Every structure is written in structure tokens, then in C-alpha cells.
Amino acid sequence: MNFDLCIGVDYSGAKTPVTRSKTLQVYASHRGEEPSRVSSPSSSDKSSRNWCRREIACWLADQVNQGNRIIAGIDHGFSFPISYFERYGLESWPQFLADFVEYWPTDQDHVHVSEVRGHNNSFESKRTGTNKEFRLTERWSSSAKSVFQFDVQGSVAMSTHAGIPWLHQLKSELADRIHFWPFDGWDPPEDKSVIAEIYPSIFKNRYPRLDRTCDQQDAYSVAKWLSETSRSGFLNRYFNPPLNDKERTCAELEGWILGIS
């Protein structure tokens, strides 16, 4: 399975979707070449070349709209535990996305995840969970944390609550040109781009860090691993983790971290 671009995105849920941050990092490998850092395309001023979340979503859409077949691994949760779906009567991932952006409008320019959490129950009590709720894919990992576990080192809760609305936007904008794995099926068609949840800790120690920052190393290692496994023909194995029928049905709502098998 070959792609024009293999992209690693190290995400951050800090501040607003239009705030530039050095913790947002993007690396891309073009047709098997060594991954290189991709800077924000919006400015030639080096001091403002860090990304913001809105810009990353637009850039990913641009790559697909330009005719590139991409695979992008993004470092945040794409969905919530099955208990959340049952609690709020949600029956599909698209329904989950639409419902989430109603209660967590973290794609709006001046909305911060922490502000939504602090609205004296006007938001959080309607759509939330506890840090003891885990997805199946997290239980298969030795260190992945709950998507509801805020305010601890290594937590993805902020990134997840900031990033999910952009998945909704990309799905709406790109329609049938993009395959969100595994929600759209476990075997991506050969003619579609792919976006998948990733956990850089699985890969980052495989490759020398050199002079990259921690965030850069995370994005680099994802792009490198995606490039290597897709070109070697092994990526299809990771697209089909060894789940039984019940587990697979659950993961089709909760999502799965690509690379955990």
C-alpha cells in the first residue's frame, strides 16, 4: 500500500485553535524519502512558522484536494469509550462527532478546552466521562491513558477534546476521498487517503532523536514508521489487529490506535 505522503502530527490541546504553538509538530515523508519537518505555510516569517490547530486541519485537507494520497497519523483520541455511547444514546461515530461539536465547540476561534470544562456544569455535565473509563485499545496498551484523564503528564485528554471537532470538519469537507480508520472500515481502499489515531510512544525510541525536540521526535517517528511499514507491505497487518467479532464491533465505535496489535 503506497502513499504520496506519510504524515505524522504531534498534537496539542493548549489554548485556542488559532494559537500558534511549538508543541504542534508536523513531519512528512514523500514517497519513502526521509521524513522532514513541515512548517506552517502561512508565513515566511520564521518567528511565526509554528502551527495552530485550525491550520493543520486546513493543510491536511489541501493535500487531499491537490490530489495526493496521504496517510496521516494524529496523536489524539478519535472517539470515546463504549460506555459514553451508551450513556448518551449514540449509535455511530458520525453521530458521535456531530454530538460532540455541539457540546464541545473547541474548533471555534477563541474557545479553550479548559473554558468548556469550567462552565459550571453547563457543558461538562451533559457530555463527559471519568478517568476510569477506557477504550479497548487503551486497555491493550501498557501506558495509554483514558481520554477523560486531564491534568496529568502524558495525558491526551486536552488534545482529544481539542482535536475531535477537526475530524468532523475534515470528514464533512473531504467526504468520500478520505478514509477514517477504522470507523470507515478496517481495510482502506487503494484510492483513498487515510487518517488514523496514533500513539508516538510506540515508535519514538526506534529512531535516533538527533537534534529534534521531543515533540518533533514524536511527529518524525510516526511519519517514519508509516513510511516504512506501508512500503514494506506490513501496514495491512496493522490495519487488521487480532480482534474477535465482539471486540471489533466495539472498536468500530471507540476507534483503535494504529500500531497496537
Helix (H/G/I), strand (E/B), else coil: 158: helix
Three-class SS string for 213-226?
CHHHHHHHHHHHHH
How open is the CA angle 255-36-236, to the nearest 5 degrees?
Answer: 35
Written as one letter, the residue type at 39 is S
Whole-number pLDDT of residue 49: 81
Whole-number pLDDT of residue 48: 53
Whole-number pLDDT of residue 120: 46
As a whole number of angstroms, the distance between CA 222 and CA 59 comes to 18
Whole-number pLDDT of residue 125: 46
Whole-number pLDDT of residue 121: 46
Which among 252, 226, 247, 250 has a CA at the least distance from the CA of 238? 226
Q: Which residues of the chain have pLDDT under 50?
A: 47, 120-125
Whole-number pLDDT of residue 115: 87
pTM of the model: 0.94
Whole-number pLDDT of residue 153: 80
Cβ-contact 28, 6 below 8 angstroms: yes
- The domains of the chain are located at 5-254
Question: Sign of the C-alpha dihedral, residues 64, 70, 76, 81?
Answer: positive
Say if residue 93 is exposed, middle or buried (CB neighbours under 10 Å; 0-12, 13-18, 19+). buried
